[in-house]
């Protein structure tokens, strides 16, 4: 898919965009990825603690590096999360349920923040863009906004409704992870900071390939590009993210090749930022298994 997009958006322009990427941008992008992993590990640790499953900080950071690396290189983007839950499984009472719930709710916290940011962008964009926004896309914006409102209403209803027994079991975990004892403040502050770091990394990638984005991109094209990574096809969001960037960048006056290049560099930041620690942990796991068998 990525190869097809390269041919479609002009390989020569992509090569030009990558010709003079400043080293400072690369270093900054990679450093922000480290911050993302550490903050995400803290969010996971907090969520697990709220569910009665304590994880040490060292374990949380280590496993989050490994999980992030595997999500980047394996299809579906969820293998690393599944492994995180498995490796953090309690030895005592409770088994895999608490760790699995902690991973699920920790990721949910991040997705809520992403959808909230995107929703804000969908509200703001039509007013900022005015006549510059194509009519068809403006219609799509309002449709998406309507869907977001419905989802928000359902979420509020979920908190108040009497649910079937199977679903009602989720309610105590949701309340503990997101609401009780000021959990909302912790989840919100961590998730907002993490989302801001993702957006900042995309801004740096765009600037590095010669397309300094306007501020409105922080709540419009960048969140939409990142949300396409949730589509469970391909590996690590590659392809869907680039297709979105190539389609959306022209709405801000840039070329599809520039959007594609910015998205590719963002992806490289994400992979390279976790690869050294991830590879070491994978090798350690393989060696440990080999020793047990021998």
Q: Distance between CA atoms of 243 and 20, rounded to whole angstroms? A: 23
| Neighbour-count burial of 272, counting CB atoms closer than 10 A to its CB (0-12 exposed, 13-18 middle, 19+ buried) | middle
CB neighbours (10 Å) of residue 255?
A: 16
55 touches 106 (CB < 8 A): no
**pLDDT tens-digit series, residues 59-86:** 999 999 999 999 988 887 788 888 888 8
Residue 27 has pLDDT above 70, yes or no: yes
Domain residue limits, the chain = 2-109+169-293
Q: Which of 250, 219, 214 is nearest to 137 (CA)?
A: 250
226 touches 202 (CB < 8 A): yes
**pLDDT tens-digit series, residues 171-230:** 788 888 888 888 999 999 999 999 999 999 999 999 999 889 988 888 888 988 888 887
| Neighbour-count burial of 115, counting CB atoms closer than 10 A to its CB (0-12 exposed, 13-18 middle, 19+ buried) | middle
Q: Which of 40-54, 120-134, 187-201 has the lowest mean pLDDT?
A: 120-134
Tokens of 14: 């992509």
142 Cβ contact list (under 8 Å, min separation 6): 122, 126
Residues 3-26, mean pLDDT to the nearest whole number: 76
**pLDDT tens-digit series, residues 92-108:** 455 677 888 889 999 98
Residues 113-117, mean pLDDT to the nearest whole number: 87
Residue 24 vs residue 168, higher pLDDT: 24
Q: What's residue 91's pLDDT?
A: 44
pTM of the model: 0.84
212 Cβ contact list (under 8 Å, min separation 6): 206
What phi, psi does 235 have (nearest 5°)?
-130, 125
Residue 195 vs residue 250, higher pLDDT: 195
Q: Distance between CA atoms of 105 and 44, rounded to whole angstroms? A: 8
């Amino acid at each position: 898919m990525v190869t097809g997009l390269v041919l479609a958006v002009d390989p020569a322009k992509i090569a030009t965009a990558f010709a003079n990427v400043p080293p400072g941008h690369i270093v900054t992008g990679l450093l922000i990825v480290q911050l993302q992993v550490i903050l995400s590990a803290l969010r996971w640790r907090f969520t697990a603690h709220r569910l009665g499953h304590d994880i040490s900080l060292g374990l949380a950071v280590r496993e989050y590096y490994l999980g992030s690396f595997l999500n980047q290189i394996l299809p579906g983007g969820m293998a690393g999360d599944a492994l995180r839950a498995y490796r953090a499984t309690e030895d005592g009472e409770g088994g895999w349920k608490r760790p699995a719930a902690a991973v699920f709710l920790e990721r949910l916290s991040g997705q809520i923040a992403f959808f909230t940011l995107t929703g804000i962008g969908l509200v703001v964009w039509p007013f900022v863009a005015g006549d510059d926004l194509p009519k068809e896309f403006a219609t799509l914006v309002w449709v998406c906004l309507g869907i977001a409102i419905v989802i928000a209403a359902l979420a509020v209803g979920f908190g108040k409704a009497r649910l079937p027994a199977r679903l009602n079991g989720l309610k105590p975990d949701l309340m503990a992870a997101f609401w009780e004892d000021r959990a909302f403040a912790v989840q919100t502050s961590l998730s907002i900071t993490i989302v801001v770091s993702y957006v900042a990394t995309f801004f740096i990638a765009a600037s590095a390939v010669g397309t300094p984005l306007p501020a409105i991109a922080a709540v419009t094209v960048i969140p939409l590009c990142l949300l396409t990574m949730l589509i469970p096809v391909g590996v690590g969001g590659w392809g869907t993210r680039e297709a979105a960037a190539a389609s959306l960048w022209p709405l801000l006056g840039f070329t599809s090749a520039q959007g594609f290049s910015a998205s590719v560099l963002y992806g490289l930041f994400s992979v390279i930022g976790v690869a050294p620690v991830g590879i070491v942990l994978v090798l350690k796991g393989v060696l440990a298994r080999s020793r047990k068998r021998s």
